Amino acid sequence: MKIIKIPKLGNELEILQYESNEKIYANYFGGVQAGFPSPAEDFSHKKLSLDEKYISNPNNTFIIKVRGNSMHPTLQIGDILIVKSDLDLKDNNIGIVSINNNDYTVKRYSKRKNTFVADNKEYPNIEVLEEDTILCLGVVKHIIRDL
């Protein structure tokens, strides 16, 4: 019998807990011009719930905080990642993965090279061999970053 342990998050990731039965709505004004604003810009606003927009399926969503810099500059220390576990990992997606039951890490998947890529060139990429076992916790769909 082979017992496989569930990997833990590596030292570059931290799961955040969020529980609330109340939705919070913020004012939403649509888009903003990065150049000269149009004088005909409509300033009417709506209400937007960030949990409805970004956490549409809470049972398949993780909120994870970046603690390391192997994915810098794409992901930075302190960034909050919204990770969807119900999506398949596809080429160029950023995933939270465990390779051969090692700790979970965050890397970009290169299907063509069969490699998990660290965006920071100071960190090694992880080549995936035919006999390797990949566990994917989920795909990073959104980044929240403080300015």
Active-site residues, by number, are 70, 107
7 upstream amide cis, omega within 30 of 0? no
Yes or no: say if 4 and 101 are a contact pair by the CB < 8 Å rule.
yes
Q: Give 64: exposed, middle or buried? Use CB within 10 Å, 0-12, 13-18, 19+.
A: buried
Yes or no: say if 143 and 81 are a contact pair by the CB < 8 Å rule.
yes
> What is the distance between the alpha carbons of residues 86 and 84, in angstroms, rounded to a whole number?
6
